[in-house]
Amino acid sequence: MFIQTEPTDDPSTLKFLPGRPVLHEEDRTVAIERGQPGPASPFADRLFEIDGVLKVAFGRDYVAVTAGGRDWAELKPEILGATADHLLEGGEVLASGRPAAGPSAGPAAGGIDRAAMAAAVEEALRMVIDPELGYNIVDIGLIYEVAVDEAGRVLVRMTTTTKGCPATNYLQQGADGAAWSVDGVTEVEVELGYEPPWTPDMMSDEAKDHFGIRR
């Protein structure tokens, strides 16, 4: 799962944008502070396990985290990991008996665990190496979305580092083959796009460390 971050007017608060709905249509923005009365939220509880997280706010398509006592450079990877894990597992945002909103929120009625399949496809995509950068396309940030429907059809939304990249066909074919390697996949569509345009900021922390990019 590719999660973007967005600064706010308050430097102690950072928005995390998973590229999929977080709250359901009928839910309003919900804010929960550590140790204070508020709605029961398994998602917030998970984030509060991270040292330094003081407040969590959920919106239709974002999670806003307020933190203190630690640098964002340390906190971001932990929050990104917890957020991705919770959403891919189909965990509840609010304790209402419903999972987080979105196309891969949990096992489908037909028996396909869409979240697990999406995670498996993403892991398989790590086997595709960008020939120019010599690193896998997931951690470089070329994969924008992996979605799975009830029938096992997979959509991979991806980009390349530049328009007209000479490795475009190679990367698309590699992504297609990687998705097909996952058990249960019945159809694969690889969609290429350039919105938002790729930047090195989209790399994972591991990739940034590999390329010596300061973060």
Here the contacts of 194-201 (C-beta below 8 Å, separation 24 or greater) are 194/159, 194/160, 194/163, 196/4, 197/159, 198/141, 198/142, 198/159, 198/160, 198/161, 198/162, 200/141, 201/141
The model's pTM is 0.51
Give me the count of residues in the chain. 215
Range in 26-40, 50-64, 121-135, 187-201 the model is least confident about: 26-40
Of 162, 205, 142, give the one whose Cα is nearest residue 214: 205
Look at residue 82 and tell me whether its pLDDT is greater than 80.
yes
Show the CA angle centred on residue 72, arms to residues 69 and 74, nearest 5°.
Answer: 85
Percent of the chain with pLDDT over 90: 52
Structural domains for the chain = 4-88 (3.30.1370.70), 114-211 (3.30.300.130)
**How do residues 131-150 score in pLDDT, each as one tens digit?**
999 999 999 999 999 999 88
SS3 144: strand
Look at residue 30 and tell me whether its pLDDT is greater than 90.
no
Tell me if 125 sits within 8 A of 178, measured CB to CB.
yes
CB proximity list for 146: less than 8 A, separation 6 or greater: 1, 104, 118, 121, 122, 125, 154, 155, 156, 157
pLDDT at residue 64 in the model: 95
Distance CA 161, CA 140 (A): 9
